[in-house]
Each structure stands twice: as C-alpha cells, then as structure tokens.
Chain A
Amino acid sequence: MKPRIIGFLCEWCAARALENLAFCHPELPVGFQPFRINCTGSLELEVVIKALTEADGVLVAGCPPGECHFREGNLRAGLRLKALKRVLSALGEDLRRLRIIWLSSGEGERLGEEIHKFYRELSLEDRGS
C-alpha cells in the first residue's frame, strides 16, 4: 500500500491554515490527503479508527484551546483522542500513527511543517511513491 496520511482538518482553523499554506504553493507529501470536518468535536472516534485501519498515519488538527467556534468541541476532542490513545496503547497499537495538533488559521506554515515532520517520523518518505 502506498504510504498515506489522512488529515482531519477543522473547518475553522486547520482547513483555513491549509488554504493559507496553499497560497504559497508548497510541495506536500504525495500521500497526504486532507479531510475537512466541521469541528474536531464532531469527529467520531469510529472515523478515526477507520482512518487508522486504512492509512499509515492520522493527523487531527483543531483549534487552539479555548478558541473553538462551538465553545468546547476541541476540548472534548482532545480528551477523547487522549483516551483513545490509552486504548490504542492497551491494544499494542503504534501510537505514533495518531497525531493531534492545535493550531489557528494563521499557522499555515506550521501545519505544513507538521505534515512533513509526521511523514519523516513515520519514516514513510523512503518507502514513499
């Protein structure tokens, strides 16, 4: 399977950050696939698991603490994903495959860096297509 990272991007911050980044025409890893969501709080763990089963890495990018457009979606998402990580580690899953970052819409460059970093850390680039 080709190396793939699925990026769940919150509509209000990360998706906009990616748009800002896109204006600079970056060269993102080929296997990175953006996936817009309404809010990280609406992201069901089932969807994350589904992505984890199919992809090599899953990135969840939401708004910084205290900045959710829906008051506390990111807070809840943060806790749920933290709990999910505990479960995954109990299942013996490689925790590096699930990465959670918080960033605001202006941090496009950081998003780009995080994606590249994630790729490197999963050591996917050598296997990459």
Chain B
Amino acid sequence: MKVKIFFCECGGNISENLDLKALKKELTSSGTEIFQHPFLCSPEGQAFFEARILPGEGVLVGACSPHLHGPIFKELSEKRRAQAFHLVALREEAAWLGKKGAYRRAMGLLKGALRALSYYRAPVLKKFPVTEGLLVIGGGIAGLSAALKAAEKGLPVYLVEREPFFGGKAVFLDRLYPRLECASCLVSPRLSALIQQENLHLFPLTHVFEVKGRPGAYEVTLEERPRYVDSERCHGCGECLRVCPVNPPAITMDPPHPVPRAPVIHAARCLHFRGESCSRCKEVCTRKAIRFEQTPRLHRLKVGGIIVATGFRPYPAEKIPYYGYKRLPGVITLWDLERMFTRQENIYGFNGESPRRVAVIHCVGSRDRRHLPYCSEICCSLALKAGILLRERLSAEVYHFYLDLRLKTPEGEGLLRRAKEEGIQFIRGQVAEISEVPLTPEDEGRLTLLAEDTLGSEQRVWAVDLVVLVPGFVPETGSEEMASLLRLCPDRFGFFSPREEKTAPVETLRKGIWIAGAASGPKDLSESVLSGEAAALEALLFLETPSFWAETDWIEWEDRRCGRCWLCVEVCPFKALHIDLERLKVEETLCCGCGLCASACPSGALRMKPFPREAHLQSLEVLFGET
C-alpha cells in the first residue's frame, strides 16, 4: 500500500517549531510522497488534501490533535476510498513540547504511524434497523420533559418511575429560585400533560428489570409493583386517606399535585397485609378502586432508544456526625424544610416552638474530601431561597454559614441583596459542631453552633433554635445498578459521564442511550428541563430514521487460535460477546472496540481494528530502531 503523508503547518504553529523540511527529506528517502499545506483544516486545505488522495492508498496526516479535525480528514479520505488512515498530533505531541526534542518526537510519531499503517485494517460500516419506541427511565422533571417532547412528536414513549408518583424532587419544592415563584404552579401543568398524551405510557412504581438487544432494538423488561389502587377507577377524592387507622397512614397521596391521581397503599404498614381484618379504605371508596389482590406485573417492551434520567439525591447528612442530623431535634435538611413548606406544616425548633433564630448551613458534605470532593453548584441558591422564606414567613433571624456563595442567573445577585436588606446575616466559614449544650444559662432550650468566621478570623459561637442543613448532591440510589444494566460509564462520583462533557452532554458512549437531568451531575430545574429536551431531540433524531450506519467489526476472532476459555465473554464491559455453538459472536452494535477482550485473550485469538497488537509492537520497534 502506498502511503501519502500530509503535513499541516498550522499557520506556523507546527512549521516554526519543527523542521518540516528536514522531516520531509528524511521520510521521502524511504519513498513516501509528502505534501504540505499552511492550513490543512481550511476549506482550501481540505480541497488540497482531498484532491491528492487516490483510491486504495494509505493516508497519514501530521497536524493537530485528532480530537480537533481528525474526523474531517478521516471522512475525506474515506470519501476518496483510501485504504488506511492515521493522524498524528505533530502540533501537540512534538512541535509544542519543546524545540529541543521536537524533531525527534515528530520522527518517532511519523515513523511509528507509517509502520502501524501497514497493519491497518478498516472497521466495517454497517446498517442497522431502528424500532421507533423510546424508554425514559426516571419520571422527574428531566425525564418527563424528555418524554413529553418525544411523545408530542408522535413517538411511542414509555416513562418509568420507581416511586408511586411522577414529578421527582421538583414536586416537593415550595418556591423556586431566583424569583420565588410557586414551584408546583410551574411543574403541575407538565405533570397534567403527561396524562393527556396518548402515546405516552406511564409506569409508576416500576423498575427496569432487564435490558437486552442492541441500539435501535432493545428488549426491555419492566417490573411494576402493585399500587393496590386501581388508578383507572380512582378519581383521587382522598376519602380513603382520612380513614386509615395507621400512623403514619398506610395509604398516601403525598405530592401536592399527584400524578397519577390515585393513592398508594404501603403494604409494610397496612393492617390488611399484616393479617388484620382492616379494610376501611376499601369500604369508604365509592369507586371500588381498592385492589388488595394486585400482584407485581412484568411488562415487555421493544424500544429503539433509552433516555436515562435517574436524577440525584441530597447527600445523607447523618453521615456527618458533628451536625447532629437525625440525632438532635431542630436539625433538619433543606429537603425536610421544603416538604414542610409544601404541606404547610408548622416548623418547630429544638425546644418545640416556632424558631426565632435559624442557621442555614451551606455545603454540607460538599467540597470535603471525606464526603463530596466537589461543589454541587445549585445548593447555594436553594439555601438562599430557604433563608428568605424562613425570614419572611417565620420572621426568624437567619444566619447563613457558607464557604463561597455561587449564585446563578442574573437575578441571583438581586435575591442576595434582598436577603441582606431583610437583615439576613452571612458568615463565611465552616460549622465545626452543633450541640445541645446551651451556650449560657439564658440559652437553655437552644442549640449551640460553633463555627469559624474566616472573614473575622475567629471562632464564634451562636445559640440557635433551628438548623437547616443544605447538603450537596450524589447520584440517586440505584444509579450503579442502572450503569451496569445499561453498561454506562459513571464518573468517579457515580454520575453518568456524557460522551463529551462540553459538546455532546446528553449523549453517552453507547449509541441509542442518552442521559438527561441530574443523573449526569447536579442540575437545577431549568437545566434539567433543558437537558431532558436536548435528550429528547437526540432520541428523535435517532429514532425517526429507519436505520443507522455504524462502524463495526472491531474484533477479529481466529477460530483456530482460540482455546475456548471464553474469558473474553466475561471481561467484555459491554456484554457484546457471546458464545454460539462453540464460536465467538460479537454483537456489533454493543461492541465499542475498547480492546479489553483482546488484551485479556491468552491465546492471541482476538485482534483489534484498526491497529492490532503487531502495529503497536512494530511502531515501538521503529521508534527505538531509528532514533
């Protein structure tokens, strides 16, 4: 195979740091044709590039990082039916790493790549049909936004929610930052829309049991737990809620705007399920909607794609013992507070009375190596909002303890000003301890809060009635199982990694699976909606085409070399390999070409494309042989 080399000068970035002339001279002597262009990525440069490639040739580009223009050059060389393509980052890996070593490094890269090219075997482009259904996992605001948009466009959508009601965390927010609008007024129309969409199928109390198949044709099994209430018959009058003798009630309909509008019976608490003869809810129901006899149901679906919107949860504050959460009365979390607000419950302090002085503690667990070594970004605004509500509704003195205030949106600053004008105090520093030992005898019945005031450079002590902890966020429980079910890649904190954080934020490394909302990192309501709808758009683009093309055939299996230990089947992180009558079969659309199987294969029966191990070994050989 004849190989042509293309050098990009990158407007001097490469040519001024690297003696291209000398490189050319040395490489041409081995019979290779070399072309050079000041800006290979420019339209003119691309035309220059394209015009010089003949079918069947190999192409080696020496330019900038493959992440930048690599795909363009690859596409052009495929268009010209080049037989092999390789790109080396002459700019980042040679020209810019120091003039002294530039030539040597460049030579190493180029000679290595030239040698590797002789082992190049192109993956195969194949066409796969697509089923049009969409599964959305998670009925929070992100998931339902995605589901609504996709359904609106006419796709059959299956929305799965683990909890009895849709809406996720948003339905338990009282007011929204930064304009303090009523949250349920904004969220409930979207929830109502769920029921109106005909091609949107709702699965509350349901979890994903199994996912099989491939992008464009997944076979999903859902398991729906019994509600013990027929939500078709029930019209949500709530009579049953009032007659339940158990405390807390065994039949509930918690959210202010429940969807579906039918209560749920918690079998663990319900007297009927504990062997007693109670059936008061059933007796009082005029619609005959109570169904004690319900059992779990399996649903089998065929969908073309999956949106994962499993969300986040606040970090469990009880894991930080010195805050006293779940130990001291009067220490609550922001989410407890929001729930009390939405249910219009009375709020009590440490001594059981309406609190006069409240501490709002930011960054609970956040930016702390022992807990969450990151900032969750949205909690400051939640905390600020809660402080203002406490001030305005309870006329309490409010103290914020913060590390850094990060207020998003232009209105955020205005809200901070409003808080300060209302007399809310902001203390920059970490709270060290909260204790029930009163500060002075007069403070009997109050909590003592010890904190550092880093602006005043001192330790200070406060007596307070109520402490509101504002924890950072972690992935929702079950995310790990979801990751292994769908073979997604979590980041080191357990959030799902997108394909490209900046430029492909809702795509995953797996075709046909997208992420929405806080499953990929803490997000506020608007960002969740945004990413939900973005995911819906990606899903629509994929599902509305009857088929897709994908590079496949990353693995070459040599029957006669194989010892049938089948370790490859086990190690594949994407479950792309299986055994079929003593032969290895690769599920083409699941294989990502990561190469873990080939590097685990003892007998060398597996080799990767485009560059098998020989290419690497030989590159190393020339690297050391020549320079």
B387 interfacial contact with A, CB 8 Å: no
A124 interfacial contact with B, CB 8 Å: no
List A contacts of B623 (CB < 8 A): 6, 33, 35, 54
A46 interfacial contact with B, CB 8 Å: yes
In the complex, which residue of chain A has the Cβ closest to the Cβ of B97? A28
Contacting residue for A71 out of B101, B104, B487, B493, CB 8 A: B487
Q: Is the CB of A39 within 8 A of B98?
A: no
| Bound CA span A23–B491, Å | 26
List A contacts of B327 (CB < 8 A): none
Q: Is the CB of B617 within 8 A of A32?
A: no
List A contacts of B101 (CB < 8 A): 28-32
Contacting residue for A69 out of B492, B497, B621, CB 8 A: B497
B314 interfacial contact with A, CB 8 Å: no
Number of interface residues of A (CB under 8 A): 48
List A contacts of B96 (CB < 8 A): 22-23, 25-26
Chain B, interface size category, equals 35 or more
Q: Is the CB of A76 within 8 A of B491?
A: no
Q: Is the CB of B616 within 8 A of A44?
A: yes
B489 interfacial contact with A, CB 8 Å: yes
Whether A30 contacts B98 in the complex (CB less than 8 A), given A43-B599, A73-B573, comes out as yes
B509 interfacial contact with A, CB 8 Å: yes
B108 interfacial contact with A, CB 8 Å: yes
A97 interfacial contact with B, CB 8 Å: no
B207 interfacial contact with A, CB 8 Å: no
Q: Is the CB of A30 within 8 A of B573?
A: no
| Bound CA span A18–B89, Å | 11
Across chains A and B, the number of contacting residue pairs, with CB separation under 8 Å, is 137
Q: Is the CB of B613 within 8 A of A44?
A: yes
B490 interfacial contact with A, CB 8 Å: yes
List B contacts of A43 (CB < 8 A): 599
List B contacts of A36 (CB < 8 A): 66, 89, 93
A68 interfacial contact with B, CB 8 Å: yes
Contacting residue for B490 out of A18, A19, A66, A76, CB 8 A: A66
B596 interfacial contact with A, CB 8 Å: yes
In the complex, which residue of chain B has the Cβ closest to the Cβ of A44? B599
Beta-carbon contacts of A3-36 to B below 8 Å, as 1s and 0s?
A: 0101000000001101101110111111111111
Contacting residue for A4 out of B109, B490, B624, CB 8 A: B624
| Bound CA span A30–B627, Å | 11
B328 interfacial contact with A, CB 8 Å: no
In the complex, which residue of chain A has the Cβ closest to the Cβ of B493? A66
Beta-carbon contacts of A58-70 to B below 8 Å, as 1s and 0s?
A: 0000001111111
B254 interfacial contact with A, CB 8 Å: no
List A contacts of B105 (CB < 8 A): 32-34
One of B118-126, B258-266, B587-595 contacting the partner: B587-595
B67 interfacial contact with A, CB 8 Å: yes
Among B67, B97, B490, residue most surrounded by chain A Cβ atoms (within 10 Å): B97
* CB-CB contacts below 8 Å: A62-86 with B: 64-73, 76, 80
A110 interfacial contact with B, CB 8 Å: no
Whether A72 contacts B492 in the complex (CB less than 8 A), given A34-B105, A47-B617, comes out as no
* CB-CB contacts below 8 Å: B590-627 with A: 592-596, 598-600, 608, 613, 616-617, 619-621, 623-624, 627
Q: Is the CB of A27 within 8 A of B100?
A: yes
List B contacts of A27 (CB < 8 A): 97-100
Q: Is the CB of B598 within 8 A of A71?
A: no
Q: Is the CB of B67 within 8 A of A16?
A: yes
Contacting residue for A26 out of B93, B97, B595, B616, CB 8 A: B97
| Bound CA span A25–B93, Å | 11
Q: Is the CB of A50 within 8 A of B492?
A: no
Between A and B, 17 residue pairs with Cβ closer than 8 Å are A22-B93, A27-B97, A28-B98, A32-B105, A33-B105, A33-B108, A34-B93, A34-B97, A36-B93, A37-B616, A38-B594, A39-B595, A47-B616, A54-B621, A54-B624, A66-B492, A73-B595
Q: Known pairs A25-B98, A42-B595, A70-B592. 18 more at Cβ < 8 A?
A: A16-B65, A18-B97, A22-B93, A27-B97, A27-B99, A30-B98, A30-B100, A30-B101, A33-B105, A38-B608, A39-B595, A47-B617, A50-B621, A66-B492, A67-B497, A69-B497, A71-B488, A72-B596
Residues on B close to A: CB < 8 A?
A: 65-67, 89, 91-93, 96-101, 104-105, 108-109, 112, 487-494, 497, 509, 571, 573-574, 592-596, 598-600, 608, 613, 616-617, 619-621, 623-624, 627
